[in-house]
Amino acid sequence: MAHNVAIIGSGPAGFFTAEALLRSEADVRVDMFERLPVPFGLVRYGVAPDHQKLKSVTALFETLADHKDFTFLGNVSVGTDVSIEEMRASYDAVVVATGALRGRDLGIPGEELDGNLTATDFIGWYNGHPDFRDVKIDLSHRRAIVIGNGNVALDVCRILSKTVDELRGSDISAHALDALAESQVRDVHLVGRRGPAQAKFTAKELREFGTLAQAEPILHPDAIRLAPACAEEAAETGTPGVAKNLKILKGFADRKADPAKSRRIYFHFNMAPDRITGTDHAEEVVFKRMRLEGPAFGQRAVPTGAETSLRGGMVIGCVGYRGFGLPGLPFDAARGTIPNVSGQVHDTDGTPLPGVYTAGWIKRGPSGVIGTNRACGVETADQVLAGLTTGRDTDAARDAFVAALAARLDRVVDFAAWRRIDAREKADGARRGKPREKVTDIATMLAEALPDAEPKLRCAP
């Protein structure tokens, strides 16, 4: 008699939770449910295509998928194809690891104008996500304005600023590479609402801006002159990333821009977006000038009363992500997370919801790098394991559930079927000198994954 755990979502949080469960002493079978026919979530669709090393974690996930007690059920949408109630009745535990799917809006007037995008629109488009591959991306403007001072904003600026030759060896989708080859964007303005000492960039990602083939980072030395409270924060040993970032930014400010380079990335700080103006299309972003007030580590950004603006036909807000709830589960709409304590989901009245857990961005909010999800998954798996009761035998219920699901939905994609998509993507990529050329539409994924003669589903015995 095994314990049966369903994990919803096949991104890093889902896989790291599965890893911790399958490597535990307990006799556990894991079924991983994924809305798309393809696994890996954020690693496949969020990580920048020119950062292939970060994607190498999929080798671990591939190994886990071969575990005899692991089953992948792709192309199954929980909440539509199956309900949480059905899953809770058939499994000892259900772990929600659905991530944070959508870029947050700026919440300012003018966001409805053409030319204004969220990070997920642009990133989903260049990464070939089926939901975003058809988003209209207009690269006919000379200036792009990227709002936010995190690593996502850096990814977006870098993809806009690299030449096609710099991107060619990545797994950027062909439609995006073709469009970027014709891009008229020459000036990218990266805007933070607070100062350089508060930017959330990591040094490795920021440093890359000094090495681009055709793009020069531009920064006025005054922009990194720190007020005493910021200098105190930056000097604090607990925040070494800040000091590194400041050093890199100083290097950018000191450097003489190479006139032979055709592109520029301008760094701006202390400017909070107030409104986007234009008739049908975004033409300008108006910002409130901000200053920081208060003691070190307790500083608040407040408007100075002055405004400034940047003209540009492409605006991309990179200001964090939002998770979404699942029908039948509590959800904290303000935080965009499922209420939980260490991964154990709690109901709206604060009581633990038996057998329901959460991991990753939907558990703790959209922060941290891929590896952060490992500790997060371990914490959740510990909760799952502690909650397993010896008296309950879910084997028969789980097997019946999976069999009924496979019969009801005739196009469930197991891991062997995903590997057929994977093989095709790698072969298509090899012909173009890329690690892979992603299939970007669900119909083609399914045609590749499930040729008629193939069995529909392989389940862990």
- 249 counts as binding ligand NAP under rule CB under 6 A: no
Least Å distance between CB 329 and ligand NAP? 23
Tokens of 82: 């199956």
Residues 278-337 that bind ligand NAP (CB under 6 A): 318-321
150 lines the binding site for ligand NAP (CB under 6 A): yes
| Residue 434, token pair as written in the block | 């890329």
Angle, CA 326 vertex, CA 320 and CA 331 arms, to 5°: 65
The residue range among 136-144, 191-199, 278-286, 383-391 that interacts with ligand NAP, by the rule CB under 6 A, is 191-199
Length of the chain: 461
> Which span (194-202, 236-244, 249-257, 291-299) binds ligand NAP, by CB under 6 A?
194-202
Q: Which residues contact 446 (CB under 8 A, 6 or more apart)?
A: 37, 75, 411, 413
Counts for the chain of helices (H) and strands (E), in that order:
16, 18
Q: Which of 85, 367, 395, 455 binds ligand NAP (CB under 6 A)?
A: 367
Number of residues that bind ligand NAP (CB under 6 A): 27
CB 16 within 8 A of CB 376: yes
- In the list 369, 403, 407, 423, the residue contacting ligand NAP (rule: CB under 6 A) is 369
Q: Of the two residues 57 and 176, which places its CB atom closer to ligand NAP in the complex?
A: 57
Stretch that binds ligand NAP, among 142-150, 260-268, 340-348, 433-441 (CB under 6 A): 142-150
Q: Are 57 and 16 in contact (CB under 8 A)?
A: no
Stretch that binds ligand NAP, among 32-40, 83-91, 196-204, 400-408 (CB under 6 A): 196-204
Instruction: Tell which one of 10, 90, 149, 173 touches ligand NAP (CB under 6 A).
Output: 149
In angstroms, rounded to a whole number, what is the distance separating the alpha carbons of residues 130 and 115? 20
**Nearest of 115, 123, 160, 3 to residue 69 by alpha carbon:** 3
Cβ-based neighbour number of residue 226 at 10 Å:
17
Q: Establish if 74 lies at the interface with ligand NAP (CB under 6 A).
A: no
Instruction: Kindly indicate which of the ranges 83-91, 146-154, 232-240, 443-451 contains the residues binding ligand NAP, using the contact rule CB under 6 A.
Output: 146-154
Q: Is there a contact between 385 and 408 (Cβ–Cβ < 8 Å)? A: no
For the CB of residue 361, give the shortest distance to ligand NAP in the complex, in Å: 8
Q: By C-beta, is 5 or 147 nearer to ligand NAP?
A: 147
Does 130 contact ligand NAP by CB under 6 A?
A: no
Q: Which helix (H) or strand (E) holds 90?
A: helix 84-90
194 forms part of the interface with ligand NAP (CB under 6 A):
yes
Residue 99 contacts ligand NAP per CB under 6 A: no
Residue 92's CB is within 10 A of a number of other CB atoms, namely 23
Taking CB under 6 A as the rule, which mask of x and - marks residues 399-438 in contact with ligand NAP?
----------------------------------------
Contact between 147 and ligand NAP (CB under 6 A)?
yes
Instruction: Enumerate residues 6+ apart whose C-beta is below 8 A from 10.
Output: 32, 33, 34, 39, 40, 41, 72, 74
Decide if 92 contacts 388 (C-beta within 8 A). yes
Looking at beta carbons only, is 70 or 266 nearer to ligand NAP?
266
Choosing from 193, 424, 436, 438, the residue that interacts with ligand NAP (CB under 6 A) is: 193
Report the C-alpha gap between 219 and 190 in whole angstroms. Answer: 10
By CB under 6 A, name the binding residues for ligand NAP.
Answer: 51, 106, 147-153, 155, 192-194, 198, 200, 202, 205, 272-273, 318-321, 366-369
